[in-house]
Structure 1
Amino acid sequence: MLLALLLHEIQHLAYGYSASHVIGNESFLQGVTGTSPARRVAVLVACGVIGGGGWWALYRYGRPLVSIAAAIKPGGARMPLAATTVHALLQIVTVALGSPLGREVAPREIGAVVASWLAKRTGLTGPERRVMIACGAGAGLAAVYNVPLGGAVFVLEVLLGTFGWSAVVPAITTSAIAAVVAWIGLGDEQQYHVPAYAINAQLVVWSVLCGPLFGAAAHGFARLTSRARSASPKDWRLPLYSLVNFAGIGVLAIGFPQLLGNGKGPAGLSFDDDLGIGLAATLLVLRVLITTTTLRAGAKGGLLTPGLANGALLAIVLGGLANHVWPGMAPGAFAIVGAAAFLASSMQMPVTATVLVLEFTHANHDLAIPMLLAVAGSIATLRLLERPPPTAAAPMGERERRLAALREPTTRASAD
């Protein structure tokens, strides 16, 4: 709750909108669009300076960071409290100033590090400690997005990889408590308000046909961002790369203010069926570009909302083209389906992605049918693309043939 309030406060101060209401009716996209182009560039330059300098100082003087995945492994190292907190705050500040990365990693890290500290203080066993660190991370996700079920399923499917009762009960309990506590400052609000879309034959058929396309696109996006993240610097180049990257994003935002932020704005426009094919395609290309360059420059953040936005924008393009072949489909409904399919494959969490999109949008549960069909096709395509190619057997040399001849009678005797 406090991280989300900090994010909103920084957004309002940086872009000068709804200054009297931290949680108001004016969205970030509306505030950014209403400010001057020069201010957008200035804020993004400041983002580059703060992010680049902050992360360089953290890597230079702070304790080595430990990821949540590493912390929940058997015998995993503990997450350093101070360094993890600074890392999370830098993510919140940069996303608030316009970074295209997601804000969900910061509350997950804070929840996990607090759970790790509590587990040590209370003397929990190793398996209990792993469960509680994962639950802390899921609770952070549940609180910041008001998705209690999504937070619990994220713990079970992604972090722990089990739906056993010993994990289900604490995961559901902690995520529910966290979401309710966050209502104190954030209110019981859903992330996206969408029209009441109805399911029809066009939506079902195109979800089946386009599911593999979302899987292939998500596979490419995941590989691109993974390479960019692994190549990011941690030395003196980080502040320089960060400044150049965010200044470039500020220049792009002069003509496309929808690019700023984690992607919630473009996703909302897509769900509302308020984007044309041309603008959606342009935003999709530019968002993939700036997300990749931001990771390459060394900035940190999540890919949940960026993946959601990419799937929604791609769906608007595909849905708009599909309507020329078979009219009658609402692109906004297909955007919801496409967001789930893309997110499921880009983060390899089909169940969590479906639950999250339903909780994000409060969409008609009938949409779960085409959503699940698209997710199934997307995940199947991802698995096919990630399958290693068969390797041809190397030619057997003289020595290998003799050894094989010596082993053959023994093998047959053993079999008999």
Structure 2
Amino acid sequence: MTRPHPASAHWLIRLVMVTILVGLGAGLSGLTVSWLLHGLEHVAYGFGEGDFLDELPTPSNGRRVLALFIAGVVGGVGWWALRRWGRKVVSVEAAVEGTRMPVLASLGNVALQIVIVGLGASIGREVAPRELAALAAQWITRVTGVNQRERRILVACGAGAGLAAVYDVPLAGAVFAVEVLLAELSIATVLPALATSAIAALVARLVTSASPLYDVPHLSLSPSLVVWSVVAGPVVGFGALGFLLLAKWAGDHRPKSWAILIVMPAVFTAVGVLSIWFPQILGNGRALGQLGLTGSAPLLFIAAVVVVKFASTVGTIGAGAAGGTLTPSLALGAGMGAVLGGLWLLIWPGSSISAFAFVAAAAFLASSMKAPLTALVLVLEFTGQGTTLLIPTLLAIGGSVAITYMVGRRRIAGIVKGGRATA
């Protein structure tokens, strides 16, 4: 039997150690972001879970509006100063391809995202930990002297692990790194992705909850649901494509220079005023997602929240804010599914609102991310549900993604790239 070359053994040991360090860095990044977000939510709203469903301390209406106004002022001033005097913020995708992330500008961008999301801005929280984890991974791989290919893989794995840490979704974080950031399925990408996401999620559990993000009742399969998934998948795809188009348009037309000092506080305050009647629009979308996945409100109200959340998220992006669209997309899909499913039950009873919302959430997210596998795994981990609804979910995802490709084939690549850059 041939003995391994000592140099090969040394290389392998070093790569394993670097992978562990990247996982620890991502875990600390997710832990820090989660801790700061929960602290801000507690100060602003009296709780630290970010669901915006609990009764807020009196005077709740004024408190919501004031928190959003403050978020708009801080965000407006911060991004105006950062974009005027700071170095250009480098996206995670660009960092994976080798562009160096400027430390101060990246940290400033992350800090501003934490502030506005913690105060209730209608945008996702997942980009901040991804950027922070990617920044840490770039530094770790640079000082440890790994080669260019290893650095690319580990930076992507670090970013995916940041997502895994902040939401406690280790498998989804690994799949995101492999499917979205690397677009390469191989042992060289899968093993470090799984390892870093597992380590990061474990570290972040010091402050995050190990329970599923959404509390969903038991779901069951039915013939009604299977047929509905075939019909509703393309409809959800059109909704997701519309969201992508408008979000891209809003990002392209965000205020330049000093105009953000006026536009962002005005838009954020308007969102705060709307939250008086629709508190579920605040934050990253968890409240709307929970509402759709439980069907715990009249369908007309859920439909109204979907429309207002759609507009408030697009408006937040258009106001110049940085942030993610992952959880808002899932929430919009769950809301759409609840409404469409409720109408379907008038024709063919036999399923539950929660099942419709679950399927549509995965389909909407798959189209908005252009990542069907990541979307499927995310929804499974977010809800803690098994594979009972796998068949209708896959059918709906297929129909939804097909629409985004057929209708928006020429524009989808630019939309997704632009959306992630905004994020």
| TM surpasses 0.5 | yes
Cα displacement string for residues 334-385 of structure 1 (whole angstroms, at most 9, x for unaligned residues): 1011000000001100000000000000113111121111101111111111
Q: Aligned residue for 1:397?
A: none
Amino acid at match of 1:11: E
Cα displacement string for residues 173-207 of structure 1 (whole angstroms, at most 9, x for unaligned residues): 00000000111122322211111111111111101
Alignment gaps of 5+ in structure 1: 390-416
Q: Aligned residue for 2:186?
A: 164
SS at match of 2:314: helix
Whole-Å separation in 2 of the counterparts to 1:271 and 1:388 = 33
Q: Aligned residue for 1:28?
A: 52
Cα displacement (A) at 1:233:
2.4
Alignment of 1:16-415 (within 5 A): 17-18=46-47, 22=48, 27-32=51-56, 36-73=60-97, 76-388=98-410
SS at match of 1:255: coil
State whether residues 133 and 162 of structure 2, in contact with CA within 8 Å, keep that contact through their aligned partners in structure 1.
yes
Cα displacement (A) at 1:309:
0.5
TM-score, normalization by structure 2? 0.87
State whether residues 32 and 257 of structure 1, in contact with CA within 8 Å, keep that contact through their aligned partners in structure 2.
no
Whole-Å separation in 2 of the counterparts to 1:127 and 1:143 = 24
Amino acid at match of 2:63: R
CA RMSD of superposed structures (Å): 1.5
Amino acid at match of 2:40: I
Cα displacement (A) at 1:172:
0.5
Whole-Å separation in 2 of the counterparts to 1:308 and 1:139 = 20
Relative to structure 1, the CA distance from residue 123 to residue 64 in structure 2 (aligned partners, 3 Å threshold; closer, same or farther) is: same
Q: Aligned residue for 2:37?
A: 7
Amino acid at match of 2:60: S
State whether residues 275 and 316 of structure 1, in contact with CA within 8 Å, keep that contact through their aligned partners in structure 2.
no
Relative to structure 1, the CA distance from residue 271 to residue 125 in structure 2 (aligned partners, 3 Å threshold; closer, same or farther) is: same
Amino acid at match of 1:52: G
Cα displacement (A) at 1:3:
0.8
Alignment gaps of 5+ in structure 2: 1-30, 412-423
Whole-Å separation in 2 of the counterparts to 1:272 and 1:367 = 16
Q: Aligned residue for 2:3?
A: none
State whether residues 11 and 28 of structure 1, in contact with CA within 8 Å, keep that contact through their aligned partners in structure 2.
no
State whether residues 345 and 378 of structure 1, in contact with CA within 8 Å, keep that contact through their aligned partners in structure 2.
yes
Whole-Å separation in 1 of the counterparts to 2:380 and 2:394 = 11
Relative to structure 1, the CA distance from residue 234 to residue 122 in structure 2 (aligned partners, 3 Å threshold; closer, same or farther) is: farther
The percentage of counterpart residues that share the same residue type is 48
Cα displacement string for residues 55-74 of structure 1 (whole angstroms, at most 9, x for unaligned residues): 1111122111111111222x
Whole-Å separation in 2 of the counterparts to 1:90 and 1:148 = 26
Amino acid at match of 1:3: V
Cα displacement (A) at 1:27:
4.4
* Number of residue pairs aligned between Structure 1 and Structure 2: 381
Cα displacement string for residues 290-341 of structure 1 (whole angstroms, at most 9, x for unaligned residues): 1111111101100000000100111111011101111122111110110000
Cα displacement string for residues 251-281 of structure 1 (whole angstroms, at most 9, x for unaligned residues): 1111111111111001011111212210111
When Rg is computed on C-alpha atoms for both structures, the one with the higher figure is 1
TM-score, normalization by structure 1? 0.89
SS at match of 1:78: coil
Amino acid at match of 2:79: W
Relative to structure 1, the CA distance from residue 351 to residue 166 in structure 2 (aligned partners, 3 Å threshold; closer, same or farther) is: same
